[in-house]
Structure 1
């Protein structure tokens, strides 16, 4: 184990500190050397994924219009402002229903983040957008946003599952397609973390 640094863990039986060396880590266990103990502590390593891997991804998911599946809207990492305005990250068509469009100019925000523990992209939906002049306030849509046909409250920030339906203004539906990070790529960005006293058995 190149680059391994010795570390201390707490014995699960006697609660005294034990030094873990590279040989112990490779073996996956360590015997407590304190007089009268001798407990075998199984070492459980933990890991996460380096967020820098998102810089090499070819995409971050997409929204597919349910009315016309040929209309596909790619997403970017970070905030995706969805609406009809040409300043939106995701500018959708002005779909008309009885002469009216129910999608606001800046309707909702779909934020793409990276979960370093799960090694997956997360998709968080919120009605409205942050006011650029006052970042602590939001400008909400006129006709609301629904997730799988359930209205989301103005203050909610909701995780959106793969293949979920996002409805804008109660009329226009878009299916969210997640981008799945390939396992070989994840493996190359895996970071082993130090042993934690709470992660021994």
Structure 2
């Protein structure tokens, strides 16, 4: 624990301040020395997961068209532009309903990122797609719904596993998350040094 500084923390039982020394931090506990207390305070060591884990993942989840379960659209790490245009990361067919297609050429964006504190992939949905040159968000013509709730313009919302994303009010897709196996997560765990602000 190089660079450790002695610090004061509040006892979890009596609330009075106690001095944490290097030996206490290494042991992971400190006993309150105040008269009548003697509570054992657990010094919590924090950790996160190395973001390099995403380089070894076999997939990043997928969308399944609910009308035809055989139609599966794999996702990539980062921003996934979804629409009927050839330039979209996830190119959807032009599904016709009474001769009309309700999915925009560049309809919405589903971003897959890695939450290093929880050790899992995070999925966030936004109506519209960011224009690469102008860096402006262009909304879809017929809107995007998440579990039957319309997304507001500029709204970025987390999407849970098995949630239903509706494009244009008609075409429905189920999002399937990819869950990183715990055995793999354990190999990418990074322990952080003791922080006096974290106690159990």
* Shared fold per TM-score greater than 0.5: yes
Counterpart in 2 of 1:171? Answer: 170
Which blocks of at least 5 consecutive residues in structure 1 are unaligned?
none
Which blocks of at least 5 consecutive residues in structure 2 are unaligned?
none
1:198 alignment partner, SS class: coil
Counterpart in 2 of 1:128? Answer: 128
1:50–1:189 contact (8 Å) kept in structure 2:
yes
2:25–2:194 contact (8 Å) kept in structure 1:
no
Counterpart in 2 of 1:93? Answer: 93
Q: 1:27 deviation in Å? A: 3.5
How many Å separate the matches in 2 of 1:177 and 1:100? 28
Q: 1:87 deviation in Å? A: 0.8
2:58 alignment partner, SS class: coil
2:83–2:92 contact (8 Å) kept in structure 1:
yes
TM-score (norm 2): 0.89
1:68 matched to 2:68: yes
How many Å separate the matches in 2 of 1:97 and 1:192? 54
Q: CA RMSD in A?
A: 2.2
Counterpart in 2 of 1:15? Answer: 17
Counterpart in 1 of 2:50? Answer: 50
The alignment of Structure 1 onto Structure 2 pairs a total of residues equal to 195
1:7–1:195 contact (8 Å) kept in structure 2:
no
Spell out structure 1 runs of 4+ moving beyond 6 A. Answer: none
- Any idea what the Cα deviations from partners look like across 1:130-155, whole Å, max 9, x if unmatched? 111211x2111000000011111112
- Any idea what the Cα deviations from partners look like across 1:25-76, whole Å, max 9, x if unmatched? 4532134689xx9774321111111111011000000000111111100000
Q: 1:7 deviation in Å? A: 4.5
